[in-house]
Structure 1
């Protein structure tokens, strides 16, 4: 969307808009991977405790999004609408899940599990 607002000959400090866009996305990815590596225990435990039904629902939505985007089983004009709707539903599901997720509840559930030891504010697997 922003590409249509930027002139095709845009140059800033000797680099094109596409280069700047790629660098910003690269920085975002590196920061996200760093945060993920920092919190891998929490991340892995959260993934294991998510309902399988939620995984299944998001997988179905991703497949519908892919089918709509590539006009598989849908006419092209309807496929675009279906793709955008499926994508928005995925974002809404993620937002609702993150909105209702509370770290304190997660840590209390984690502390009650027999295979985890909570010592000095660190969670370690035994």
Structure 2
């Protein structure tokens, strides 16, 4: 099983669409590397991870309990995530903690551009996330 080291990363799907901060608390996926967010990934004592927007007090989060297609946004309280080996070589799956079903970070189904990020049920089509060290 692959492990992820603490560090600052650019996180993408298929090395093409990167997690990006759009507005105050909104996240989206964008292909422009100049807009790519730097995200600090830290392992907790319990073996889960927190993901924080670099140099801010904001964390990858969602409002309330994890639910199918709930938007993932930036929030003030750290949220813990399970990060495990993904379906492709060198990829990772990011899963919400606290749901009765497995919900992973994915592309929200709303047909808008740029795509939003949401919690997705396990459809078996998860492509995994790529973590690129940020300089």
What TM-score do you get using the length of structure 1 for normalisation?
Answer: 0.21
Higher strand fraction (1 or 2): 2
Q: Which has the larger radius of gyration?
A: 1
What TM-score do you get using the length of structure 2 for normalisation?
Answer: 0.20
Higher helix fraction (1 or 2): 1
